[in-house]
Amino acid sequence: MLKAYVTYVRPILEYCSSVWSPHCKYLIDKVEKVQRFFTKRLAGLQKMSYCNRLNILNLQSLQSRRLINDLVLCYKLLHDNFDSSITSALNFCRNVTRGHSCKLSKLLCTIDATKFYFTNRIVNVWNSLPNSVVSSPSVAVFKKRLLDVDFN
């Protein structure tokens, strides 16, 4: 059942998540509820907490998977791994004194909807990454190093 979920259901829940990623708590919970419901129905896991079920099944929460997908997309955009017009929307910081040299700056937003665009949503998390992760030589190495980062 787990293999069927990972193969058929989860890709639907994550399709184009960089575009539609929810920011309201109730919307995040609605999406996460699908995985929560599935893991609770597996034999022997009914009475465990959601975090314990994820650990036993070696799964990540859908919210953390969306965050990782956003970071991978940002890495690809900044390292010219594919051609996109969104790259021009990412603004580099001019005066970098701490952290890595690939820091981004947020655009000033007056409309609530634009605050949660990919280009603004990813900035704080990207800037908090260690230099060893940001300066990865390839996407595969970047993904591997992201697994060691604590996002809490």
Q: Does residue 123 share a domain with residue 69? A: yes
Q: How many structural domains compose the chain?
A: 2
92 and 23 co-located in one domain: no
Rounded CA-CA distance 25/19 in Å is 17
Q: Tally the residues of the chain.
A: 152
Q: How far apart are CA 102 and CA 1, in angstroms?
A: 42
Residue 105 lies in a domain: yes
Same domain, 44 and 71: no
**Digits of tens for pLDDT over the chain (152 positions)?**
999 999 999 999 999 988 888 989 999 999 999 999 999 999 999 999 999 999 999 999 999 999 999 999 989 888 876 666 666 667 766 666 666 778 888 877 778 777 888 888 888 899 899 989 998 999 999 999 998 888 77
Q: Which domain holds residue 46?
A: 2-61
Q: Considering the entire predicted model, what is its pTM?
A: 0.85
Q: 25 and 78 share a domain?
A: no
Residues 57 and 72 in one domain: no
Q: Considering the domain boundaries, does residue 80 fall inside one?
A: yes
